[in-house]
Chains A and B, each alone.
Chain A
Amino acid sequence: MMEAVVVKNLVKTYGKEKTVAVDDVSFSVDKGELFGLIGPDGAGKTSIFRMLTTLLLPDSGSATVDGHDIVKDFRQIRSSVGYMPGKFSLYQDLTIEENLHFFATVFGTTIEENYHLIKDIYVQIEPFKNRRAGKLSGGMKQKLALCCALIHKPTTLFLDEPTTGVDPVSRKEFWEMLRRLKEENITILVSTPYMDEASLCDRIALVQGGKILSIDTPHGIVNSYPDALLAIKANEMYRLLKALKGYPGILNSYAFGEYAHATLRDAHTDTHALQVYLHEHGLTGVEVKEAEVTIEDSFIKLLH
């Protein structure tokens, strides 16, 4: 299988103080793969994307997109990739149709030519095609932006936090679209701060502080989780977390939705003893069960 994106020891710093944004990052993405960069805000995801889309020059290291060097062959890369920046970056005073038509023309193509690529997405926003982009909802804006990034049939698609600020239903729809695009053999790199979206990628890289902590399939990342994980529920979350911190058999604990997740020092720790301990601390409605490891758990583990 050919590699669509190869990144080798990429480093990027900003300003006079040389604030490190991307710190010696290496990874590669196969052709047709849906690859996710998962990490919190400020992890360096956008900087990586901007270097790969030739918008920024790396301080050191190298990278290729479709075999083209990001510094030397920036022209070829610019005409073959699709890029959707994190901030909504279409013309707010142009209608949906005008935006799409403009970007199609700028990329030297027509809407008709590649309509099959965007059809599934476009039909959802087509009823509003004469509405100005600035007046669209967050979900519709992202759908339009995706259409505009896709209209020239890019070989590789860079989506920088495409679902930030989008409602859960639209987010789900959006990811379904990305899965469908895979069938067109378009390589997709997507970044997101949402851990739950990570499991929808073929492979993910967990990014923090400009470094890649781990690269694997979502399944692989979850499976390599080293500890036993418990999900604990009680009536008062705050007191529960405080009590868990004081329990000697627990390595680490944190809130996870309505439960608290806790990793155990020893996989064979008696959960009954823990329940008794929590009751002694005045907590009621205590429930302790084994938790299914998620990407978020893996990420938190890697941070510690």
Chain B
Amino acid sequence: MKQFLAFVRKEFYHVLRDRRTLLILFGMPIAQILIFGFALTNEVKDSEILVVDYAKDNASQELLTKIGSSRYFNIRQAALSHSEILGTFQKGKIKAVVVFPANFNEDLLHHNKAQIQIITDASDVNTANMVTNYLSSIIMDYQNQLNRNLEIPYRITSEVRMLYNPQLKGAHGFVPGVMALVLLLVSVMMTAISIVREKETGTMEILLVSPFKPVLVIFAKAFPYLALSLVNVTAILLLSVFVLDLPVKGSVALLFAESTLFIITCLALGIFISIKTSSQQIAMLISLMGMLLPTMMFSGFLFPIENMPVPLQVISNIVPSKWFYIIVKSIMIKGLGLAALWKETLILFGMTVFLLLVSLKSFKIRLQ
């Protein structure tokens, strides 16, 4: 035990004294969270909306206040002719134009039917769609408000509810994704590199010619990265709760337990890579190409798996991060418990056991 502790302490010295390792270890998760959270967002925030109000009556004013009070839109008013509207798009700042025809309120009261025109800049399809959706839902909301008082029978309106994420916050999807990515990088790559480094510098030779059990060398090397990865999980969760306003709906303890399981899966993978390679560069390349790429592609974090061709869907099943991504998403956003996630947990657990067995079996107690 004393030997083990000395080993772990030595490992921490390595990490804490290497500025580059430290940067990857702690700079990367923070940078990723902040980049995904603020820069690469596909949310529509503070979009410039031009309102052309020919009606200027009660109803149009009420609706405008409603649109303006949401944090998605900044309203500018102008009285323009139809042809002038097109010109404003070409300047590029305006995301959409909302046109209220004259007699808007009257049409609504007397004909029970009024029209609003929404013109969007579809050169950016996603934004255009998003803006239209937001606007329609605000208008729908206003309509419901009116209907409550008026009670018009027999009208079918579809009511769209965005479950778990009513504000369509982009952060919801990427926090679990970033978590899977960061843990994978730290646990697989760093562990693999640090074990291979001992081979490369020759210290492995000395460690093998010592009473210290070779298998313990491996565990002692993996342990610090488990601890550091958990620190990373904590950092990511703190950032997502306090900086991105994304609370953890489910049990935090369960989230940590599942993260620990996933970290161990990754550590086993890292150990396996380190056993099979003999130079730090190769270990790094394999970790990046073999781990990072499949995680990006097949975890469902960037591309929805359901839309992939069937063979790729099958392949995605052997990517551990896919299961972890599902688990984290379910716990953080849907607030589900272990009862709903036992299947994914079991798959991840099986993978871990398998990888650990394979790496222990292929571990060499000699140089060749």
Contact = CB atoms under 8 A, between A and B. Distances in A.
Interface of A: 50, 53-57, 74-75, 78-79, 81, 83, 85, 87-94, 98, 101-103, 105-108, 148-149
Give the interface residue-count category, chain B.
20 to 34
10 contacts: A55-B205, A55-B367, A56-B366, A79-B210, A81-B209, A83-B206, A90-B206, A102-B6, A105-B3, A149-B206
B211 A107 contact: yes
Contacts of A91: 10, 13-14, 201, 203
Of the candidates A53, A56, A91, the one having the most CB atoms from chain B within 10 angstroms of its own CB is A91
Contacts of A88: 202
B6 A106 contact: yes
A83 B3 contact: no
A108 B208 contact: no
A172 B42 CA distance: 71
B210 A94 contact: no
Given A91-B14, A93-B18, A78 B368 contact: no
Contacts of A106: 3, 6-7, 207, 210-212
A89 B203 contact: yes
Contact of A105 (B2, B201, B203, B207): B2
Nearest to A154: B209
B111 interface: no
B82 to A, nearest CB: 71
Contacts of A92: 201
Contacts of B6: 101-102, 105-106
A93 B201 contact: no
A53 B209 contact: yes
Nearest to A91: B203
Given A78-B208, A79-B210, A89-B206, A56 B10 contact: no
A89 B6 CA distance: 18
B71 interface: no
Contacts of A79: 210-211
Given A50-B367, A56-B366, A91-B203, 14 more contacts: A55-B367, A56-B367, A78-B209, A81-B209, A83-B206, A85-B202, A85-B205, A89-B201, A89-B206, A91-B10, A93-B14, A98-B10, A106-B6, A108-B2
Interface in B204-236: 205-212
A57 B366 contact: yes
B17 A89 contact: no
Contact of B205 (A81, A83, A98): A83
B107 to A, nearest CB: 77
Given A56-B366, A90-B203, A78 B211 contact: yes
Interface in B158-172: none
Nearest to B202: A89
Nearest to B220: A106
Contacts of A148: 206
B202 A87 contact: yes
Nearest to A95: B13
Q: Ordered nearest first, which 4 A-B pairs have the shortest CB separation?
A: A89-B202, A79-B211, A105-B6, A83-B209
Interface in B176-224: 201-203, 205-212
Nearest to B10: A102
